[in-house]
Amino acid sequence: MPVTAFECKSLSGSAEWKWYRGSSPSEGTASFFERRVRDMDSSQFKFAHRFDQVSGSAIREIFKVIAQPGMISFAGGNPSPDALPDEIVREISGEVLRDNGKTLLQYGATEGYMPFLESLKAYVQDQLQCNIPAVLPVTGSTQAMDLLCKSLIDPGDCILVENPSFLGNMQCMKLYQARLVPVDSDDDGMMMEDLEEKICRYHPKMLYTIPTFQNPTGKTLPADRRKKVAELAGKYQMVVAEDDPYRDLRYEGSPLLSIKSFDKDGWVMFLGSFSKIISPGLRVGFIAGHPDIIRKCTVGKQSSDVHTANLNQAIVDQFLRRNLLPDHIEKVCANYGKKMSFMLSKLQNFPEGVTFTKPQGGLFIWVELPSHMDALSLLNKAIEKKVAFVPGTHFCVDGGHLNTIRLNFSNSTIEQIDQGMNVLNDLIIDNI
């Protein structure tokens, strides 16, 4: 198939990106790929091979555009500004600095700020309803993924991933030169038959999964599959990275046990974050699980950032000790739940042929347009009308899935959702 340039201009006008369809000797047989027009290869610098699979994020182009005033953005994954507890954090910061300022402003232990380690361990055990042998506070759960890969992944190792999956962590895996192999999903997430088949075929070192209100689809893996994942991990000796930053953002239904809670042999590592329930700017997350892996991650962290900011650990520690999270999460969930229901009700009125997930929580809805439609060109038209979203192709392991989009509802008001969804509806009708 000849390569044809795809109708999509760089969103920022800097013409850095172009999308292509077809196959070529240099790009292989992929039916879809993106390439930098201003290529890194033209640089005078010889960059490390670990960047070979990582082309930089086209999503960042979108974020430059959505910074324009008046833009309605369904693109990010940010908490709503009114969900950020700035007043409480201000009060706590003053108190912890008054009581313990000299220690907090000094270097700390890589293993974590001692009082936080204590409250965190109790919190994680309570959340997961199982014994947690070791936990390491990290600088956002993004760092947990980085440290896991640093500890476990050699170039060429296989990691199984959901498809689509969280772009940030897939980029991390690619920087460690992993080979990413997608596992097939249905409406409930990963399918266990395909998972076992891929384990047997590719002998992966790790499975990366976001089991609750997945980013980008909003899907939740049911309890029986969670149990099965833990069993397969033990049977085939594969580490599972259970990335669960959205588990508390539930607006309907009952909480599910974590994969970790079914883990008998220590193969499941649980990655948690306070970004979505307190503040992403504090950059406090954690990784919990087998002490041997936690130890390797700790050694890896020493050369990354020495330790997670003491002051930020102390702030989250106070949230846990003062039991502030339940009330705060309840308020946030009430707010996001209304926004999600409203966005879903708008989608109900979209033209026939548009399908979408119906999550019970989290921050995202995944939309499939009729198969001939193109979310990349739809995005350009939407941006002209001051509405932004992320085309689903960016979350897919091998690209493709051009007719999909990810919508975020947390960071817009009900009025903005109303207005923005009307714009998308009209554009889809015009292009169907």
Residue type at position 18 = K
312 versus 377: smaller Cβ distance to ligand PLP: 312
Q: Pick between residue 239 and residue 373 the one whose CB is nearest to ligand PLP.
A: 239
Question: Torsion angle, CA of 399/403/409/414, rounded to 10 degrees?
Answer: 160
CB of 363 to ligand PLP, least distance (A): 8
The encoded tokens of residue 342 equal: 């409203």
Contact by Cβ (8 Å): 328, 277: yes
- Residue whose CB is nearest to ligand PLP in the complex, by number: 140
Least distance CB 244 / ligand PLP (angstroms): 8
What sign for the dihedral angle of Cα 260, 225, 219, 428?
positive
Spacing of C-alpha 244 from chain mean position: 9
Question: Nearest distance from residue 316's CB to ligand PLP, in Å?
Answer: 12
CB of 243 to ligand PLP, least distance (A): 5
CB–CB of 331/88 below 8 Å? no
Interface residue list for ligand PLP (CB under 6 A): 77, 140-142, 166, 169, 210, 215, 243, 245, 273, 275, 280, 285
CB 155, min distance to ligand PLP, A: 23
Close Cβ partners of 158 (under 8 Å, ≥ 6 residues apart): 178, 179, 180, 181, 202, 203, 204, 205
DSSP 154: P
Question: Please, how many CA atoms are within 13 Å of residue 200, restricted to the half-sphere of its CB?
Answer: 5
Return the number of the residue (166 or 267) whose C-beta is nearest ligand PLP. 166
- Minimum CB distance to ligand PLP, residue 75 (Å): 12
**Strand order across the 4-5 sheet:** 4-5, 17-21, 32-36
Q: Residue 186 CB, nearest distance to ligand PLP (Å)?
A: 20
Task: Please identify, using beta-carbon distances, which residue of 76 and 204 lies nearer to ligand PLP.
Answer: 76
Separation of first and last alpha carbons in the chain: 26
As measured in angstroms, the least distance from the Cβ of 179 to ligand PLP is 21
337 CB-side CA count, 13 A: 13
What whole-number distance in Å separates Cα of residue 111 and Cα of residue 308?
Answer: 9
Closest to ligand PLP by CB, 212 vs 310, is: 212
CA–CA distances in Å: residue 58 to residues 19, 124, 285 = 10, 35, 26
Please, what is the minimum distance in Å from the beta carbon of residue 139 to ligand PLP? Answer: 8
Our CB check for ligand PLP shows the closer of 78 and 103 to be 78
| 243/263 with CB nearer ligand PLP | 243
Closer to ligand PLP at the Cβ: 239 or 428? 239
Q: How far is the CB of 241 from ligand PLP (least distance, A)?
A: 10
- How far apart CA 109 and CA 90 sit, in angstroms, is 24
Tokens of 55: 């082309």
Among residues 273 and 377, whose Cβ is nearest to ligand PLP? Answer: 273
Angle 211-213-216 from CA coordinates, rounded to 5°: 100
Smaller CB separation from ligand PLP, 243 or 317: 243
State phi, psi for 110 to the nearest 5 degrees. Answer: -60, -35
Going by C-alpha positions, the residue among 75, 177, 28 that lies closest to residue 407 is: 75
Q: Which amino acid is at 327?
A: D
Number of H helices, E strands in the chain: 12, 18
